[in-house]
């Protein structure tokens, strides 16, 4: 029977149940994350502040550096020894997965565990990092765990979830999980949907056996579609509503120090949102500054990450030492620099207490006499969320000196660069917002005599410009910032500053997440073909040497090929007497070969046993194993007699693979490969009388580095 392409649609009923379970776990994790960070950091800062008020400065420093170091060590031990894949933001890895790259253990249960607790320890430990990026990764890990039916390794499996054990549903769930992570971190449901659309979602393809037709291979082209849109929106809406309810519950004091500082929600002064020509000039300037600083930030982060990768190769102990060193440096900066700032008298007619007693507030006393406050300590000696709130406050009383804002900007800019890349979960959103809001407030102060907008709005625009300059997102960032500040009147200005900063930064380099994906060597497929690909043909870059199998192949040949190569797909050739002439039968996957070899459906002669082979298999035997243990070649054992036997590959062969002629333009082949989300693209000869297969194209063959290595004379820009 000839094999055809089919498309399987998952019924929405079970999907809604699984999606609801996904939402429940994500908002529970988000709520727990916020409570833990606020209470741990709050008690640490309150204890240190109380010692400062008693003028026990050395004891306060010892408590501060000791607490931060202990939390840093806890986060580093988790990342270095349990789940190294949990270090960093996680957004580049999620983005790569949704592009079709399944890197090792990026969505494993151990990664999820370390991501949650490591992020809590790192943020509460005073690092210049955020929990927003890790929340995106956490949401994706939870969705992946549910989508694959649990984990065999940790004996957490649910048989009913095998219904979703295919690539399309798993990727849909992971997209929803990533969006829910943004909603849980920022309380921005629409922004979460747009973030998943703009930054995470991609095109990918799954190849698996259809349960309805065992001899039919079905192909799922996974892309952003209307069903995924409403599912993602539903997920983020539920997460945001439930988190909001818990936040209101905690404001009564039932959750310790959790309350105003728990979920990010920044209040911006909207009394005067009108703007004139000087304001527009300042906004354009902010966009240019954000583009220049953002591209420089990305360049320096790339260099630091490459340096850290060399250091971290020496082992977990070296990672731990690096984390402790950065923690001590950060602690010394945040505790030491406020001593350089002069004390300011408390403004009169304030609703807030001055100086502030406790963990948060705009008026930290630090070393100042009664009735005075230290503006730089109000930024450094707070949680990152509270520091942003302080920067977004109105300037009616000029809370922060220009010198303090400049020192804070330089410190956060540099600390953010050297912190990202150490062995702790670390997000980039908060450091970038802090630095951007600082120089935005500086620009607002400088234009204060001619500008109409309040400096708090300039701080918001500065944060937007730096975000656009580093991450190169526009629509999702704009909506996230609007939901963060609840200020729709700033929409035109946010759009303008984001477009300017992104356009300026694109002149110099790519976005930070794109650079990290490239630095990690992940073969990310862009939607467009490089210009120099138009000068080449598909046959010129096809992978070699080519390894093919016969339709009925000797077991020893298959085992030898699997041992000697890491290829995931092999062309199958039918030869006489099973066909009139040598012809391409199709493509067989490595994972399917291993399953077939495990069952040992062998024959002593070269005969076809298509119907008999299927009797011992079920459709889910060929499903993707996920993070559980799949079939490995090392686990299979064959004696000499079995190696000399034959196995029929026709039942597990995809007889309808995508093919291109060898003379097709490589640029066209690249666009086809990405648009269809392929893993393998077979290249067939143009002229008769030759072998039926000329080569095979994989994702690696379309990478610019690989092509330029084959053709070094090509100009990469032409």
- Give the separation between CA 585 and CA 581, rounded to whole angstroms: 11
* pLDDT on residue 245: 77
pLDDT digits (tens, 9 = 90+) for 190-229: 999 998 888 766 544 433 333 333 333 333 444 556 778 8
- Asked if residue 484 lies in contact with residue 433, where contact means CB atoms within 8 angstroms, the answer is no
Q: Helices (DSSP H) in 486-615: which residue ranges?
A: 491-506, 512-519, 555-564, 590-599, 610-613
Out of 459-468, 527-536, 683-692, give the one with best mean pLDDT.
Answer: 459-468
Distance, CA of 209 to CA of 620 (rounded, Å) = 8
Strand partners, 588: 570
Determine what percent of the chain is predicted with pLDDT higher than 70.
Answer: 82
CA atoms within 13 A on the CB side of 385: 25
Structure tokens at 342: 């002069």
> How would residue 98 be classed by pLDDT, with cut points 50, 70 and 90?
confident
- Asked if residues 340 and 407 have their Cβ atoms less than 8 Å apart, the reply is yes
Phi and psi angles of residue 549, each rounded to the nearest 5 degrees, phi first: -120, 150
pLDDT at 236 over 90: no
pLDDT of residue 264: 54
The continuous run of DSSP H or E covering 372 comes out as: strand 372-373
Spatial neighbors of 133 by CB under 8 A, at least 6 apart, are 88, 89, 90, 91, 425, 426, 427, 428, 429
What residues contact residue 514 under an 8 Å CB cut-off, 6+ apart? 472, 524
Is it the case that residue 649 has pLDDT exceeding 70?
yes
Confidence of residue 244 (pLDDT cuts 50, 70, 90): confident
Summary mean pLDDT of the chain: 83
Of the candidates 524, 526, 523, 512, the residue with the CA atom closest to the CA atom of residue 88: 512
Whether 293 and 466 have beta carbons less than 8 Å apart is answered as yes
Q: Which of 350-354, 542-546, 567-571 has the highest mean pLDDT?
A: 567-571
Q: Where are the domains of the chain?
A: 12-205+215-252, 277-313+340-520, 526-542+662-717, 550-654
Characterize the bridge pairing of strands 680-684 and 659-661: parallel
49 pLDDT higher than 80 = yes
For 12-205+215-252, which CATH class? Answer: mainly alpha
Identify whether the C-beta of residue 603 lies closer than 8 Å to the C-beta of residue 645. yes
Task: Give the confidence band of 563 by pLDDT, cuts at 50, 70, 90.
Answer: very high
Reference 260, options 34, 27, 427, 480; nearest CA is 34
Amino acid 114: pLDDT: 94
| Region 460-478 average pLDDT | 93
Banded pLDDT at 459 (limits 50, 70, 90) = very high
Pairing outcome for strands 583-589 and 156-157: unpaired
pLDDT of 27 above 70 = no
**Dist. CA 101–CA 95, nearest whole Å:** 9
Query: Can you give the pLDDT at residue 258?
Result: 61
The angle subtended at Cα 70 by Cα 64 and Cα 74, nearest 5°, is 145
**pLDDT over threshold 50, residue 673:** yes
3-state secondary structure of 395: coil
SS3 665: strand
Q: What is the number of other CB atoms lying within 10 angstroms of the CB of residue 213? A: 14
pLDDT of residue 149: 61
For the ranges 271-275, 320-324, 494-498, which has the lowest average pLDDT? 271-275
DSSP tally for the chain: helices H, then strands E: 24, 14
Homologous superfamily of 277-313+340-520 in CATH? Answer: Clc chloride channel (1.10.3080.10)
**Percent of the chain beyond pLDDT 90?**
40
Place of tokens 């390794």: 153
pLDDT at position 16 over 70:
no
Please give the pLDDT value at position 119: 94
Tokens matching residue 614 = 């299927």
Question: From CA 140, how far away is CA 179, in angstroms rounded?
Answer: 9
**What is the predicted pLDDT for the residue at 165?**
57
> ∠ CA(602), CA(606), CA(611), 5° rounding?
60
Burial zone of 664 (CB within 10 Å; 0-12 exposed, 13-18 middle, 19+ buried): middle
* Paired sense of beta strands 680-684 and 695-698, if any: antiparallel
pLDDT digits (tens, 9 = 90+) for 318-361: 999 999 999 999 999 999 999 988 888 887 766 667 777 666 66
């Amino acid at each position: 029977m000839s094999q055809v392409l089919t498309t399987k649609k998952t019924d929405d009923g079970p999907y809604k149940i699984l999606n609801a379970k996904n939402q429940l776990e994500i908002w529970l994790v988000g709520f727990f994350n916020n409570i833990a960070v606020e209470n741990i950091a709050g008690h640490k800062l309150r204890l240190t502040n109380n010692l400062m008020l008693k003028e026990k400065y050395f004891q306060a420093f010892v408590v501060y550096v000791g607490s931060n170091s202990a939390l840093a060590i806890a986060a580093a031990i988790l990342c270095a020894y349990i789940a190294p894949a949990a270090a960093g933001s996680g957004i580049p890895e999620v983005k790569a997965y949704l592009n079709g790259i399944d890197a090792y253990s990026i969505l494993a249960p151990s990664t999820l565990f370390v991501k949650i607790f490591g992020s809590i320890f790192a943020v509460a430990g005073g690092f210049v990092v955020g929990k927003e990026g890790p929340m995106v990764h956490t949401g994706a890990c939870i969705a992946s765990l549910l989508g694959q039916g649990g984990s065999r390794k940790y004996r957490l499996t649910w048989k009913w979830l095998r219904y979703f054990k295919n690539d399309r549903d798993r990727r849909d769930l992971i997209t929803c999980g990533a969006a829910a992570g943004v909603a849980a971190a920022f309380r921005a449901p629409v922004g979460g949907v747009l973030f998943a659309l703009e930054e995470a979602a991609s095109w990918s393809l799954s190849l698996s056996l259809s349960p309805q037709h065992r001899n039919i291979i079905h192909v799922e082209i996974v892309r952003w579609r209307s069903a995924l849109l409403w599912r993602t929106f539903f997920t983020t809406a539920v997460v945001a509503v439930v988190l909001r309810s818990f936040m209101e519950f905690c404001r009564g004091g039932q959750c310790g120090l959790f309350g105003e500082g728990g979920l990010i929600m920044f209040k911006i002064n909207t009394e005067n949102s009108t703007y004139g020509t000087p304001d527009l000039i300042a906004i354009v300037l902010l966009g240019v500054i954000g583009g220049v600083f953002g591209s420089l930030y990305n360049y320096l982060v790339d260099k630091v990450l490459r340096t850290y990768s060399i250091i971290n190769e020496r082992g977990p102990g070296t990672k731990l030492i690096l984390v402790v060193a950065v923690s001590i440096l950060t602690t010394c900066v945040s505790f030491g620099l406020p001593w350089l700032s002069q004390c300011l008298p408390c403004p009169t007619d304030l609703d807030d207490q001055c100086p502030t007693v406790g963990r948060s507030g705009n008026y930290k006393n630090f070393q100042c006499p009664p009735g005075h406050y230290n503006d730089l300590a109000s930024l450094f000696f707070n949680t990152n969320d509270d520091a942003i709130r302080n920067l977004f406050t109105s300037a009616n009383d000029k809370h922060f000196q220009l010198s303090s804002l400049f020192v804070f900007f330089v410190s956060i800019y540099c600390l953010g660069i050297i912190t990202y890349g150490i062995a702790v979960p670390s997000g980039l959103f908060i450091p970038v917002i802090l630095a951007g809001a600082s120089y935005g407030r500086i620009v607002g102060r400088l234009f204060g005599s001619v500008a109409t907008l309040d400096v708090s709005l300039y701080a918001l625009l500065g944060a937007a410009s730096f975000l656009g300059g580093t991450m190169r997102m526009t629509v999702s960032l704009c909506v996230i910032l609007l939901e963060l500040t609840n200020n729709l009147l700033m929409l035109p200005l946010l759009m303008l500053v984001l477009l300017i900063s992104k356009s300026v930064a694109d002149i110099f380099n790519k976005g930070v997440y794109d650079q990290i994906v490239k630095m990690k060597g992940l073969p990310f497929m862009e939607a467009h073909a490089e210009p120099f690909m138009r000068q080449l043909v598909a046959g010129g870059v096809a992978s070699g040497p080519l390894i093919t199998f016969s339709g009925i192949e000797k077991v020893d040949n298959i085992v030898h090929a699997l041992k000697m190569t890491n290829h995931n797909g092999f062309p199958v050739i039918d030869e006489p007497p099973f066909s009139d002439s040598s012809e391409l039968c199709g493509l067989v996957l490595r994972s399917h070969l291993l399953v077939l070899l495990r069952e040992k459906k062998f024959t002593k002669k070269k005969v076809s046993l298509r119907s008999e082979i299927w009797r011992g298999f079920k459709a889910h035997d060929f499903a993707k194993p996920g993070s559980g243990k799949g079939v490995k070649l090392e686990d299979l054992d064959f004696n000499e007699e079995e190696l000399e036997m034959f196995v029929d590959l026709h039942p597990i062969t995809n007889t309808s693979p995508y093919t291109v002629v060898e003379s097709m333009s490589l640029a066209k082949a690249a666009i086809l490969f990405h648009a269809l989300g392929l893993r393998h693209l077979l290249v067939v000869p143009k002229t008769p009388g030759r072998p039926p297969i000329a080569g095979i194209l994989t994702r690696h063959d379309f990478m610019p580095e690989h092509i330029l290595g084959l053709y070094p004379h090509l100009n990469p820009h032409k």
